[in-house]
Chain A
């Protein structure tokens, strides 16, 4: 039972990560591979606050979101000026920088040894300690993230995001400040990713930098693409499938060392299969790799 609850909690965490990344990748068309970095920022801010300052959980959560959003702005303002591929490389660089900081600032972050003994969340005197309680907390935050994101994408703001994804020049021509929209949504994505980090840190009670590597970013991107870019429900489906599916491997009876590798192969294979045959993912509306359709339609005249 605890095992199933554990899987469900992980699904909630990855739902938050993939839904928030979908705002960037699926709706705005900006492919960031720094999502795990913001996930890590959230986890470390909350963990350090709880360990060093013993501040209450909700304050840590709020501060983690704000910190990640501010860092998102600092990274986003210069890098979002870059064109597609260069932006991807810039976020990759940022991802590496965050990992290096977490890994090398030993006095502050514990370095490779990580931060053990993170206190469990206490909300208005109620300590969350059992798996079930954590599932409820993670579930509520996942629902909040979903609600928040869907509110954005259904609004006129979301309409501009889609326009930016499809044609930045036209978006400017109808009077949209494209750069500002990109930075804003990048900050939102970063802030929401931090929520997942806070849950992870307080749930596992131990964090180290290896949880927030570029591999993790790519895993989150896989969820978005396989679930369906440009569709929030797709991200939930993707999180369920990609978190639960590899767990089934445990029951096939493979030795642990092999199972871990098979898992990686499975992710890679799934990603390739989807890119080839179903680029819009399970239920996405934005086909990720077929964006090169011929723009010049023949005159009818």
Chain B
């Protein structure tokens, strides 16, 4: 199998506290990887390092075999890695459709020269993107809310919308930070099915989640981490029954 993402010996310390301690892992193509562990285990730090929001102290990140360590976040998105945030982030004042339209990459209309000299091209791409955005919203049952400011959506809908934004960015690898935490059961099912569909389309997904049932249900492989280290790795069943994991949770 292709290893789409590979990290080697990542270290990251905050004021002496290890958030990542010699952390190495990989994500295969077409795989859903669960990242679990107690609060402060370094899961979100791992996302931040991979997506360029935080520089690592040392270690390497490879995407499709190419080194992407310490690249700017926007370049990493362009390479094909998109993420969501634990503390919901969307442009709350822009409407739902605009949030999705914002997420498309390489838009001619986002260049100043394009704004004034490529009117037709902009209208064309904008129309194409709009169609794609509308079909994405239709697929996720958000169509009716297309013209609502994103801030007016319910918590669950906003979480779903932030995943839609990753899809619009045409990511090959999605990093989802607690996609179903604090969400009602029907929305949970919706998000579950969206994630499974993405896998079917050949994408890779890494999920941070405390909801163990969700992890068991959806993940092909699970990594358990604590204090920045990989404690256990394997199928969901293996990790769940690993004595080291049980010990860490009981501590």
Q: Which A residues lie at the B interface, using CB under 8 A?
A: 151-152, 155-157, 159-160, 162-163, 166-167, 169-178, 184, 188, 285-286, 295-301
30 contacts between A and B (CB under 8 A): A152-B112, A155-B110, A155-B115, A156-B108, A157-B109, A157-B114, A157-B115, A160-B110, A162-B91, A166-B92, A166-B94, A170-B89, A170-B91, A171-B91, A172-B72, A172-B77, A173-B73, A173-B85, A173-B89, A175-B74, A175-B77, A175-B78, A296-B87, A297-B151, A297-B155, A299-B155, A299-B156, A300-B154, A300-B155, A301-B155
Top 6 closest pairs, chain A to chain B, by CB: A299-B182, A175-B77, A156-B109, A170-B89, A172-B73, A174-B103
Rounded to whole angstroms, the CA-CA distance of A242 and B182 in the bound complex is 49
Q: Is B90 an interface residue (CB 8 A)?
A: yes
Shortest CB-to-CB span from B176 to chain A, Å, is 12
- Cβ of A156 and Cβ of B93 under 8 Å apart? no
Looking at the assembled complex, report how far the CB atom of A55 sits from the nearest CB atom of chain B, in whole angstroms.
26
User: Does B111 touch A at the CB level, under 8 Å?
Assistant: yes
Cβ of B21 < 8 Å from any Cβ of A? no
The answer to the question of B105 belonging to the interface, with a C-beta cut-off of 8 Å to chain A, is yes
- B interface vs A, CB < 8 Å? 51, 53, 72-74, 77-78, 82-83, 85, 87-94, 98, 101-103, 105, 107-112, 114-116, 122, 126, 151, 154-156, 158, 165, 169, 181-184
Q: Which residues of A contact B72 (CB under 8 A)?
A: 172, 177
Residue of B nearest to A162 (CB): B94
Residue of A162, A178, A295, A299 most packed against chain B (CB within 10 A) = A299
Docked CA distance A176–B78 (Å): 9
Please pick, from A169, A285, A296, A297, the residue contacting B53 in the complex, using a CB distance under 8 A: A169
Query: Looking at the complex, which one of B89, B110, B126, B183 makes contact with A299 (CB distance below 8 Å)?
Result: B183
Q: CA separation between A301 and B169, bound complex, in Å? A: 28
Q: Are A301 and B184 in contact (CB under 8 A)?
A: yes
